[in-house]
Chain A
């Protein structure tokens, strides 16, 4: 079974500052990793995913994440955030070849002017 831990429930940051949202996972098998963004009263939108290959994954809206197998982490980063990045961000994991996706508790990113 897998589990996902998002270490910060809320992250306030000023506009144009860099941000890192932390995610750790546990699994006894190989996994795929995902980051999703959710705006109020909306579904989830995929930001990026790691399936295999390069450990640095680039996604939409200027976000990137790095898969670190030894630390079982998949932290999300953006060098300069905008007000419009204010949203809930979910880290998720699924077994390779599996179907179920397990979500972390979410991190609320709040960008201040």
Chain B
């Protein structure tokens, strides 16, 4: 079946530094990937839609200069949290649209900014 690998699964970084999260579709090509943010005990909030070979589409209220998205190939999208601050601490999840109109999710990345 369709598998999406997300790395790292958890990361701790210092305030002011940048963190890159990778999302890979392992056995299918994904022209579109999605990045979500999930606060504790809350639902997933769509941050942006990542399109291969073009700019990402950001949801209202999401700072595109803080959350840089690059979708350089059909199997890889990256989310870079720039100049991270403690309020950026969250669980970030990517997903890709696979075969049969199924959305496959990565295992998530727990980001803690100290």
Contacts and interface: CB of A to CB of B under 8 A. Distances in A.
Interface of A: 32, 34, 36, 41-46, 49, 51, 90, 99-106
Contacts of A100: 34, 46, 49
Interface string B20-46: 000000000000101000000011101
Interface in B61-88: none
Interface of B: 4, 6, 32, 34, 42-44, 46, 49, 91, 93, 95, 97, 101-108, 110
A104 B4 CA distance: 22
B108 A42 contact: yes
Contacts, number: 48
Nearest to A106: B43
Nearest to B46: A100
Given A43-B105, A102-B46, 17 more contacts: A32-B101, A36-B105, A41-B91, A41-B108, A42-B108, A43-B93, A43-B106, A43-B107, A44-B93, A46-B104, A49-B101, A90-B44, A99-B32, A100-B49, A101-B103, A105-B42, A106-B42
16 contacts: A41-B91, A41-B108, A41-B110, A43-B4, A43-B93, A43-B106, A44-B93, A45-B105, A46-B103, A99-B49, A100-B49, A101-B46, A104-B43, A105-B42, A105-B43, A106-B43
A43 B49 CA distance: 18
Nearest to A51: B101
A105 B41 CA distance: 9
A25 B43 CA distance: 15
Contacts of A42: 107-108
A20 B54 CA distance: 42
Among B32, B101, B106, residue most surrounded by chain A Cβ atoms (within 10 Å): B101
Given A43-B6, A106-B42, A101 B102 contact: no
Contacts of B4: 43
Contacts of B46: 100-102
A104 B45 CA distance: 10
